[in-house]
Amino acid sequence: MPQPPISEAAPAKINLTLHVTGRRADGYHLLDSLVAFADVGDGLLATRAGISSLTLEGPFGARVPADRDNLVMKAAALVPGALGLAFTLEKRLPPASGIGGGSADAAAAIRAAIRLDADDAGGMPARLAALDADAVLDLGADLPVCLLSRPARMRGIGERLDYLPFPEAPILLVNPGVEAPTGAVFAALAAPDNPPMPGALPVWADVGDLARWLAGQRNDLEAPARAIVPEIGAVLAALSAQPDALIARMSGSGATCFALFPDLAAARRAGVAISTAHPGWWVAAGRLYPADAIEAARINQLMRSTT
């Protein structure tokens, strides 16, 4: 009997902080970043087939490669025995936008390939841990944290992960429709050696507590990104002007920015206001997951299918 298709969520990765703390001799930058995942993202469908393939759908499907240069295909190849897999990627996140869309898609492909393996010995965490860590990191600094999609402190070049407790946080994501080239943003950074976050992170009671703490932290890439993509400043101004916004900041290397809100209704109201004023911008309201985004997405999908 043919195995049914596997559905995997690819949640957006949000850098709530991004401190650039150094640069290695090989040119890679060292980071100290608080990362969380949203219930906004791409979707991936995978099934066994005679030949490996990738079909792109969704509002941003035409803006990413559909061949083996796509991270979905490269990532699936890291799973032993992952041959003859047909993927359909619903691309809902704008590409090259600082919210880890490509890495999230790659992580989803790896999880889907493992789930399609009839010999799923040891379960998902064990199979992920058995992957070639260097090969995973070579595909992108965000890929390790996207594999489990849990709130984490990410350090080194992306390989040092400390998972942590996290409050559910309503969020609004806004992108001006302009790509911020990651390499150029890092190259424009004034200094690569900046202070890290505190040695011990607090346990945040709620989103307000989190926002107050974030106000004392940074995204060191925001200034160079704004110099390259001035539209980022307009997005941050629009987010900050919303009456219930707790904090507004850029994610990753841009150009997507976010604001946290006390509740989802406030985030949605702000999204409507910004979409009305700027109809060409990409706007999405949602929540940051307090724990495992992948498991939460599967539970939500199951609940929808039974109602």
Whole-prediction pTM value?
0.93
- The pLDDT, as a whole number, for residue 121 is 57
- The pLDDT, as a whole number, for residue 12 is 97
Q: What are the Cα distances from residue 190, in Å, to 26, 215, 249, 272?
A: 18, 21, 19, 36
- The pLDDT, as a whole number, for residue 137 is 95
Check residue 269 and give left, alpha or beta (phi > 0: left; psi -120 to 50: alpha): alpha
Quick one: which of 156, 135, 54, 47 has its CA closest to 147? 135
- Which neighbouring-strand residues pair with 41? 11
pLDDT beneath 50: ranges in the chain? 302-303, 305-307
- DSSP label at residue 81: T
Pair 130, 82: CB distance under 8 Å = no
**Beta-carbon count within 10 A of 231 CB:** 18
pLDDT tens, 22-38? 999 999 999 999 999 99
Task: Assess whether the region 6-164 and the region 169-288 belong to the same CATH fold.
Answer: no
- The pLDDT, as a whole number, for residue 118 is 63
Enter the tokens of residue 77: 């190849």
pLDDT tens, 105-160? 999 999 999 998 866 556 788 889 889 999 999 999 999 999 999 999 999 999 99
Pair 23, 189: CB distance under 8 Å = no
Q: Has domain 169-288 been given CATH number 1.10.2020.10?
A: no
Domain ranges of the chain: 6-164, 169-288
Q: Has domain 6-164 been given CATH number 3.10.180.10?
A: no
What residues act catalytically? Answer: 13, 142
- Cα 111 versus chain centre, distance: 16
